[in-house]
Amino acid sequence: MRKVIIIGAGLAGCYLATQLQTTCDVTIITKKSAEDSNSMLAQGGIAASLDPGDTPAEHEADTLVAGAHHNKETAVKQLVTTGPTLIKRLIAAGMPFDRKADGQLDFGLEGAHSHHRILHANGDRTGAALTSFVQSLLHQVHWQTNSEALQLTIQSGVCTGVVVRNTQTGELTTLNGDAVVLATGGLGNLFPLTTNNATITGDGIAMAARAGAKLTDMAYMQFHPTLLTLHGRCYGLITEAIRGSGAILVDENNHRIMANVPKKDLAPRDVVARHLQAWQRQGHDLFLDISAIPNFTDRFPGVTENLDNHHVPFRTTKRIPIQPGAHFMMGGVATDLSAQTSLPHLFAVGEVACNGVHGANRLASNSLLDCLVSAKKAAEKIMTITPTETFKNTALPNSKVDPFLPTMTALQDKAWQYLGVVRTRTGLKTFLRWLDQFDYPSPVPTQLTSTQFAIANLCLCAEKIARAAQAAPKSLGANYIEESVVPDQAG
């Protein structure tokens, strides 16, 4: 029986496990609990052309436009054609997507979509509902919680396993497998303002890079326009579905920020984020005006609960204080359409991977769909692998070292300054010079504390982002390089 090790407990990893659990020996490793993932935090929904007036071709066209046509067209076609079938299977298995009073699926609208095609579950708690449902289908897998994947093991050019540390006991073990799957999410905690779970520190991307796997499109980090922001700190995502329902972006004077921009408040996320930051740099405060949305608290229960928890008086002001922040990595570990990386028997699914589907700017609500599709294709490929007879494990160095690393706060501040919504070529050089003083490339991961490991991983990811952005001949999508002209308020 094939042994499969899945690193990460979000939607991509867990859906993959559902496809393999009856035919393979599957182990899921997760840094904390099964509930700790970006998938659990996803609010907006999952996009698919299931409405009779919509088509996969139109979904494909919207994805390509949002991605600045930097997408791999074959990957986009696979996404929009395979995705609806997988969602129908989930519905048949009992997944309770939100429906209208007449029982029909209730499709929402989000930025850069030409049709209402966003499915939700439990209002704005789609990610949690969908991921929990998929996890409920797992009955034949081994779970290793509180387990930190540190480094991949490579034998004769083939990935054969992963070194894992129990975060409670510190014990190191090597898990061997016929296939190892990275499902670790992105690198959102590189930035001080982020929608990402605290466990998301670029581990999968860094492990793959250290093992020699190819990375691609690392310049393309998506910044979401609307994070709940109070006193300079982020307190979670304000879903784009709210703008899809009629909310608009305004400043403290009620001036409509996106009024003169094509598609206005539903422009692609990179465009909205840049305009908001330009407005903010001119001294304005940023708000989401929800006065046009009836029954807001009923339609967006998750956001409502978060706003109430932080004592935001949105019921009276009809405003939510927001600003852009880090959201989603479009680049990552390069894969083919079967989620196979450049290292044999190493796969990557979900946000850690880059199969070319998102291009230079992810279309809203395509990420959960990609989790399903890439996991399905990975499962099909893994089932063709010939099981390995023996594995050779070597001793693991665990004597502690004390490398020179920045603090997490210093790294995040520098990354926001130089790798954020708007970049400059001078700033990229400055950032790389600053980063060059630190020891992040050299220590053996097993010799680092968990905090040091996270910082070293994020430093490595930051370097990859900066070098990729620097190599780009011009701005494209989320990699916006300000040469000399600053966008004015009108865009």
Whole-angstrom Cα distance, residue 300 to residue 241? 9
* Cα pseudo-dihedral 22, 91, 48, 51, rounded to 10: 150
In the residue annotation, 269 being an active-site residue is answered as yes
Phi/psi at 313 (nearest 5 deg)?
-80, 50
Whole-angstrom Cα distance, residue 332 to residue 209? 10
Q: How far is CA 7 from CA 32, 173, 216, 243, in A?
A: 12, 14, 20, 34
Q: How far is CA 317 from CA 58, 243, 290, 385, 459, in A?
A: 38, 17, 9, 59, 41
End-to-end CA distance of the chain: give it in Å, rounded: 58
Q: Of 210, 269, 319, 423, which one is the catalytic site residue? A: 269
Please report which residue ranges of 122-165 form alpha helices under DSSP H.
Answer: 126-136
> Token pair of 271, please?
């465009």
Q: List Cβ neighbours of 105 (8 Å cut-off, separation of 6 or more).
A: 50, 51, 97, 98, 99, 119
> Token pair of 71, please?
């997408």
Whole-angstrom Cα distance, residue 469 to residue 479? 7
Q: How far is CA 164 from CA 30, 99, 124, 154, 170, in A?
A: 10, 43, 34, 14, 9
C-alpha triplet 264, 359, 323: angle, nearest 5°: 45
> Token pair of 422, please?
């708007």
The H-or-E segment that residue 162 falls in is strand 158-166
Q: What is the DSSP string of 70-81?
A: -S-HHHHHHHHH
299 Ramachandran zone, left/alpha/beta (phi>0; psi -120 to 50): alpha
The catalytic site residues sit at 269
